[in-house]
A and B are shown apart, each in its own frame.
Chain A
Amino acid sequence: MEKQSSNRATQLIEGLGSSLRRCICSVLSVGPVPKHIAFIMDGNRRYAKKQNLEAGAGHRFGFLALMNILKYCYELGVKYVTIYAFSIDNFKRRPEEVQSTMQLIQEKIEGLIEKESIINRYGVRVHFCGNLKLLSEPVKLAAEKAMNATACNSKAVLSICIAYTSTDEIVHAVEEACKEKRDEFRALDKSGAGYGLSGLGENATDRNSPLIDTADVEKHMYMAVAPDPDIIIRTSGETRLSNFLLWQSSSSLLYSPRVLWPDIGFWHLVRAVLDFQRNFAYMEKKRKES
């Protein structure tokens, strides 16, 4: 009996909370709403230490916070959300920690494509952005399965950056652009256009026009699946980007609340959106100038 009534009370509170959120979202929607928000989910380990939990538990609470934040973003009408789940630098951590984080990631990826998950509720298409070759086989398979399962969703997009760093992304994009240009020249050679690859290399100094341009590099970026982020939020008050979306953040508002990631809530998102709206005219001008 008591459990029923406490369940009902929780449901009532959740219902009130959701109505309040909807009211706030409708007020915020009067102004410009960001199309793309990126999150650096920093502070899980500090949270675990603060709450005297065992080492990996902070990440589990972090995942719950992530699900809530995704819900609030999609309710507000943010179409693209990107999260920094695992950096290539994080592979340098202790092997047991990397192993347990990878296991948690695999477990959560598999949970994402279940029927009742938030992904299906909001019609979210999931992309995994990063050097997936660095992941272990089971995690890579789970990621590919999730991408295939959500390929038909089109209402919103979730980009999960895993085994990702910006510098690795730039090198990969340059490499792909080079390979594409090389294949183009090989095709021209075959059709007898008469360039000759080695001739091109020798006459390099004669050809002043660039072969690869910025658009060629940008289309091979892992993050080409989304437009540039409007806001990048890093929790725990740290003011650096730690090799995340460095190329794409030229016109992004950076917001660093002091809260640890598992403690992040709706009001932090509201604060970020209000900041975005205050600076919208300026940021739009900067975006148009690039």
Chain B
Amino acid sequence: MLELDFVRLVMFLRWLESAILDLGDEMHKFYARICSTGDLGLRLLWHIIHLFVSIWYFVVGLMNTLESFLISSGLFKRYRDLDISKVKYLAVVIDSEEALQTLNVLQLLRWLAAIGLRNVCLYDKEGVLKISQEALKLWLKSERMSNETTGGPLLDPKNISLEVISFSDGKHAVTKAANVLLKKHYLNGNTEKPNLTESDMAEALGKIGHGGAEPDLMLIYGPARCHLGFPAWRIRYTEMVHMGPLKSMKFGALMKAIHRYTMVHQNYGT
């Protein structure tokens, strides 16, 4: 009798165990479905928010295009009397894929020359512009000469001094300067300089041909506002402005960016 009861008890307990496990499975499936619906809901919300953001940027883009058109047509007085002397050195950062549009780069340089800028530094990460720099310089020179010979009335594109750099002129240049300083001050055995200063660094960079001037203003042509590795040593106080993709560059937007720069007041930390 006792044995039969014991067997029945064990069977009952086993049935209970399987029922509980089944229930657990069902609850887990239900929870996963809620989560995935919840997840789906969150994903939908995320896409909706980004859709609104894209619409907002589209509208802002349209307004900027209209403003650029009005600026180019000379409607605003303040853009006509631009004090270009404030921009002593201009840097232009172009996304490497967009830098392949050499004709657009040339047009940009023509505009910069027309505005009156004399010292321009072109930068792209991969070094695409270094490959096309000879062609660019040749084109600009030939245009200048043809303008002089035909007596072109409008533009007087004086010689624009062009510096073209890439990513290797940034961190790698500092590393090369570090090696120069290592050999000069630390491996001589007798004299040991206690503390390196910023002027030591600047001197070392100049010695290896990477001592360019610090740009006042940097125009970034690309999808995002990012300086893409422009030599760190030279951009301490550089104003960085995002101009959008190169293919949709506008003369009015260029004028607006330069005008805004001329209105900026820097404390330099004080």
Contacts and interface: CB of A to CB of B under 8 A. Distances in A.
A286 B175 contact: no
A290 B269 CA distance: 31
A1 interface: no
B225 interface: yes
Contacts, number: 167
A178 B182 contact: yes
A279 B223 contact: yes
A212 B50 contact: no
B64 interface: no
B34 interface: no
A214 B171 CA distance: 7
Contacts of B235: 241, 246
B195 interface: yes
Nearest to A172: B196
B226 A185 contact: no
Interface string B190-213: 000001111011000000000000
A179 interface: yes
Contacts of A179: 186
A171 B182 contact: no
Interface residues of A, number: 61
Contact of A27 (B49, B175, B179): B49
A259 to B, nearest CB: 17
Contact of B175 (A217, A246, A279): A217
B169 to A, nearest CB: 13
Interface size on B, as a range, is: 35 or more
Interface in A179-215: 179, 181-182, 185, 197-198, 200-201, 204, 210-214
Contacts of B268: 89, 92
B113 to A, nearest CB: 24
Given A174-B178, A201-B189, A253-B226, A30 B198 contact: no
Contacts of A170: 174, 201, 232-233
Interface of B: 42-43, 45-46, 49-50, 53-54, 125-126, 167, 170-172, 174-179, 181-183, 185-189, 195-198, 200-201, 223-229, 232-233, 235-242, 264, 266, 268-270
22 contacts: A27-B49, A30-B42, A30-B46, A89-B268, A90-B270, A167-B233, A167-B236, A181-B186, A197-B187, A197-B188, A198-B187, A198-B188, A214-B171, A217-B175, A240-B237, A240-B266, A241-B240, A242-B236, A251-B228, A274-B49, A289-B126, A290-B125
Given A182-B187, A247-B171, 5 more contacts: A28-B46, A171-B198, A178-B186, A181-B182, A290-B167
